[in-house]
Amino acid sequence: MFNQNIKSPVNIPVSKIHPFEGNPYKVLDNDEMNTLICSIQEQGILTPIIIRPIENTDEYEVISGHRRLHATVKAGMKEVPAFIYAVTRDEAAIMLVDSNLHREHILPSEKAFAYKLKLEAMKHQGITCGQVGHKSRDEISDTDSGRQIQRYIRLTYLIPELLDLVDEEKIALTPAVELSYLTDEEQYALLGSIEVEDRTPSLSQAVRFKKLSQTGNLSDDDIETIMQEDKANQKPMFKVSMEKLQEIAPRVKDKDFEDFVLKACEHYYRYLLRQRDRDSR
């Protein structure tokens, strides 16, 4: 995969290995990480990580295997098997991005910063990229078009809180791209409105925000007014806490609560109709 002659792995102290600066892929302490830690404790590292020497030092940075390195440290191990590649940082950046882009689960933010990292590395190497939106997609990705790559890179201009909403699928990619053209101050004002209104902007609203911002006419009042507009695709929602429902119906499973509530409402509505008929006699 890396166009290098693979040598035998060597054990390297974890204290001498550092994460790749600007690594776009998140290393999370979640259930998957706990499973990996247990596996390492029982079987060791089955697949060596890939590292490169840091110039003018006796230390290394990771190219591939950030999660395995993190799990190794969590497992209390002092060394990790690794393949060492003597490559430049730009070469390593491209290797890092390419080795992770085909993962089954990859967040929009991860893809955004990964494409940006690879594009910058290619430019440093003197590879002419031209306008990303008009270049061959095979030069950066074999799955996303150049225009789509450009859209993902725009996400890196979002403030972290809005980018989190994109990762959580609360804001779709297309409106998120439009919002990326707002200033940080405008984005934070929008974030405040999102929290107050408990809704996210539609594509048409995002386009209006962008146009007002580019003309210097987007005020906090404008953001609040636009966010308070009814959206055809965002109907009002009635929320009830699961805790309250479980107090009423402790034997109902979580997945069955929607059906339970709808039937309960239907039953109560029929009861009200019967009461009205009786009172009218």
The CATH number of residue 73's host domain is 3.90.1530.10
- Give the residue with greater pLDDT, 276 vs 112: 112
**Are 152 and 163 in the same domain?**
no
Is 1 in a helix, a strand, or coil?
Answer: coil
How confident is the model at residue 134, as a pLDDT? 42
| 20 DSSP assignment | P
- Residue pLDDT, tens place only, 240-259: 777 777 778 877 776 677 77
Query: Residue 275: is it exposed, middle or buried by C-beta count within 10 angstroms (0-12/13-18/19+)?
Result: exposed
Distances (CA, A) of 27 to 4, 11, 34, 67, 110: 26, 22, 12, 6, 11
**Are 6 and 83 in the same domain?**
yes
Q: Decide if 116 is inside a domain.
A: yes
**Are 69 and 138 in the same domain?**
no
Q: Decide if 198 is inside a domain.
A: yes
How confident is the model at residue 244, as a pLDDT? 75
**Are 163 and 222 in the same domain?**
yes
Q: Decide if 233 is inside a domain.
A: no
Question: For residues 77 and 68, is the Cβ–Cβ distance under 8 A?
Answer: no
Q: Decide if 236 is inside a domain.
A: no
Question: For residues 69 and 61, is the Cβ–Cβ distance under 8 A?
Answer: no
Q: What is the tally of structural domains in the chain?
A: 4
**Are 74 and 142 in the same domain?**
no
Q: Decide if 178 is inside a domain.
A: yes
Count of all residues that appear for the chain in the document: 281
- Give the residue with greater pLDDT, 142 vs 169: 169
| Residue owning tokens 């039953």 | 267
Q: How far apart are CA 173 and CA 239, in angstroms?
A: 26
Name residue 271's amino acid: Y
- Residue 5 scores a pLDDT above 80: no
Confidence of residue 238 (pLDDT cuts 50, 70, 90): low
Q: Decide if 235 is inside a domain.
A: no
- Residue pLDDT, tens place only, 26-71: 998 999 899 999 999 999 898 999 999 999 999 999 999 999 999 9
* DSSP secondary structure letters along 64-79: E-HHHHHHHHHTT-SE
Name residue 80's amino acid: V
- Give the residue with greater pLDDT, 214 vs 260: 214
Domain that holds residue 35: 1-100
**Are 151 and 173 in the same domain?**
no
Confidence of residue 137 (pLDDT cuts 50, 70, 90): very low
Confidence of residue 6 (pLDDT cuts 50, 70, 90): low
Region 228-250 average pLDDT: 69
Distances (CA, A) of 267 to 109, 209, 252, 254: 46, 45, 17, 20
Region 84-89 average pLDDT: 93
Is 198 in a helix, a strand, or coil?
Answer: coil
Lowest mean pLDDT among 86-95, 140-149, 232-241: 232-241
**Are 216 and 261 in the same domain?**
no
- Residue 232 scores a pLDDT above 60: no
Phi and psi torsions of 11, nearest 5°: -85, 125
How confident is the model at residue 129, as a pLDDT? 53
Q: Decide if 237 is inside a domain.
A: no
Query: At how many degrees (to 10) do helices 89-100 and 108-124 cross?
Result: 150
How confident is the model at residue 136, as a pLDDT? 41
Give the residue from 100, 121, 147 where a domain finishes.
Answer: 100
**Are 180 and 267 in the same domain?**
no
**Are 83 and 24 in the same domain?**
yes
How confident is the model at residue 4, as a pLDDT? 52
- Residue 75 scores a pLDDT above 70: yes
**Are 111 and 53 in the same domain?**
no
**Are 217 and 249 in the same domain?**
no
- Residue 270 scores a pLDDT above 50: yes
- Give the residue with greater pLDDT, 270 vs 121: 121
- Residue pLDDT, tens place only, 175-203: 999 999 999 999 999 999 999 999 999 99
- Residue 105 scores a pLDDT above 60: yes
**Are 41 and 96 in the same domain?**
yes
139: Cβ–Cβ under 8 A, 6 or more apart, which residues?
122, 127, 129
